Amino acid sequence: MISTLLKAASVAALLSSSAFAADTDWNERFKEILGKSITFHTAEGHGQVPAYAAYLADQLKAGGFAAEDIHILPHGETAALVVRYRGDGSAGKKPILLAAHMDVVEAKREDWERDPFTMVEENGYLFGRGIVDNKFGVTSLVTTFLRLKAEGYVPNRDLVIAFSGDEESSMVTTKAIANEHRDLTDAEFVLNADAGGGTIGEDGKVLSYSLQAAEKTYATFHLTVTDPGGHSSRPTGSNAIYRLAKALTAIENYSFPVNTNDITLGFFKAQGPLTGGELGAAMTAFAKNPKDKKAVATLRKQASYVGVTGTTCVATMLEGGHAENALPQSAVATVNCRIFPGEGVALTQERLQKAVNDDHVVFTQRGESTESPASPLRDDIMTAVTDAVHANFPGLPIIPAMSPGATDGMHYRAAGMPTYGIESIYMKNSDGFSHGLNERVPVATIPVALDQMYRVLTTLTK
């Protein structure tokens, strides 16, 4: 057995000058890299992203990637990793950028049933912080690079990995990858392994695959009312809390105009027959005619779909007053918006102000927003993804998706690189614990995910 392995290894080394044998079990290699990935505590503030990037860089160097094609780009306590897989240029096209993020949302040992920074396999699941979001995506891209290299594959254009290091917080590394380091990362389009994916029903049946091609813009406003105040025994007609309450009621009652794009229409068209019933009929009707008032009303009653029909804004926080026996001198509400691509923050604020119709309610935007256009549903990408999905699940519906925001994709789209979320995890909605406790991924999805990623990358580059 040992001699056979050694023989295989030396033959593979001759064929591909790779350190890995041609008969490497890529599912096992994937689990090994994923397990090691989980041990890096890459939540904001722990300074572990550069060490994680260095570990990944070492795997790729050992797999035959030249040091000059691997770049760790430090930014404060975190870092980005950019790795170029050189093609022969025969396609005459710009590279394809492959995105994922190395950082995770914080996880506290005492809140988890298992150590969040040790990968644990139990009952068909792998547990750990980041096991879905997004170390699975990172590992599937790294493993696929290693496999392609080991097989001696030469793409017809460059493939460039771009891993960010602070997607869950400020996205400074993402902005840097998309803009400042464009010499390393310029691409025709981006495939993002942090969005999209397959849905499995509670009965275990695989239902659909969603491909993310647009994101809404995230924007938060403070609505502030100030007043001279006074003694609570002497009420006036200008109470700041009442005034703010009226403004919030106006926002509650305001309905943003219906909006659509190719992605949302494609989503409802595909999702209608899968959903069935009155809701499914409303989806199908909306996809045919977005002016169908009855369909709009039905969809807008559903928390999962109201945001696919247009912009939404909702009150999320409230503070006001300073003493129980004083008239309030100020009242402030926080309103969070998910803005339909193309509408913009300024127009959204204008619409809210018009709905409120009170100059004493002062609007201020909190933080910055990145507005990004929807990415066109290109034939080459749709075909590559559809074929890869159907290789494992023949005929599975492919559903274009617009996510409520925000992933690294918005910065790439804003920088002029269309972006497609092609994560290859298949799981039940009830297993979704990203950002939460006991984050898990089904072990059974690994071979499918790797196969799909391999097919997508090779189809687009041969």
Binding residues for Zn ion (CB under 5 A): 133-134, 194
Quote the least distance from Cβ 307 to Zn ion, whole Å. Answer: 19
Quote the least distance from Cβ 263 to Zn ion, whole Å. Answer: 19
Q: Residue 390 CA to chain centroid, in angstroms? A: 23
Strand 419-421 with 189-192, pairing:
parallel
User: Given the complex with Zn ion, which of 192 and 264 has the nearer CB atom?
Assistant: 192
Quote the least distance from Cβ 209 to Zn ion, whole Å. Answer: 18
User: Given the complex with Zn ion, which of 62 and 437 has the nearer CB atom?
Assistant: 437
User: Given the complex with Zn ion, which of 136 and 221 has the nearer CB atom?
Assistant: 136
User: Given the complex with Zn ion, which of 31 and 135 has the nearer CB atom?
Assistant: 135
Quote the least distance from Cβ 358 to Zn ion, whole Å. Answer: 39
Quote the least distance from Cβ 42 to Zn ion, whole Å. Answer: 12
User: Given the complex with Zn ion, which of 194 and 439 has the nearer CB atom?
Assistant: 194
Quote the least distance from Cβ 56 to Zn ion, whole Å. Answer: 17
Quote the least distance from Cβ 212 to Zn ion, whole Å. Answer: 11
User: Given the complex with Zn ion, which of 166 and 194 has the nearer CB atom?
Assistant: 194
User: Given the complex with Zn ion, which of 117 and 136 has the nearer CB atom?
Assistant: 136
User: Given the complex with Zn ion, which of 158 and 423 has the nearer CB atom?
Assistant: 423
User: Given the complex with Zn ion, which of 134 and 217 has the nearer CB atom?
Assistant: 134
User: Given the complex with Zn ion, which of 87 and 197 has the nearer CB atom?
Assistant: 197
Quote the least distance from Cβ 106 to Zn ion, whole Å. Answer: 14
Quote the least distance from Cβ 436 to Zn ion, whole Å. Answer: 13
Quote the least distance from Cβ 341 to Zn ion, whole Å. Answer: 19
Question: Which residues touch 347 (CB under 8 Å, ≥6 apart)?
Answer: none
Q: What is the largest CA-CA distance in the chain?
A: 94
Q: What is the 3-state secondary structure (H, E, C) of the chain?
A: CHHHHHHHHHHHHHHHCCCCCCCCCHHHHHHHHHHHHHHCCCECCCCCHHHHHHHHHHHHHHCCCCHHHEEEEEECCEEEEEEEECCCCCCCCCCEEEEEECCECCCCHHHCCCCCCCCEEECCEEECCCCCCCHHHHHHHHHHHHHHHHCCCCCCCCEEEEEECCCCCCCHHHHHHHHHCHHHHCCCEEEECCCCEEEECCCCCEEEEEEEEEECEEEEEEEEEECCCEECCCCCCCCHHHHHHHHHHHHHHCCCCCCCCHHHHHHHHHHHHHHCHHHHHHHHHHHHCCCCHHHHHHHHCCCCCHHHCCCEEEEEEEEECCCCCEECCEEEEEEEEEECCCCCHHHHHHHHHHHHCCCCCEEEEECCCCCCCCCCCCHHHHHHHHHHHHHHCCCCCEEEEEECCCCCHHHHHHCCCCEEECCCCEEEHHHCCCCCCCCEEECCHHHHHHHHHHHHHHHCCC
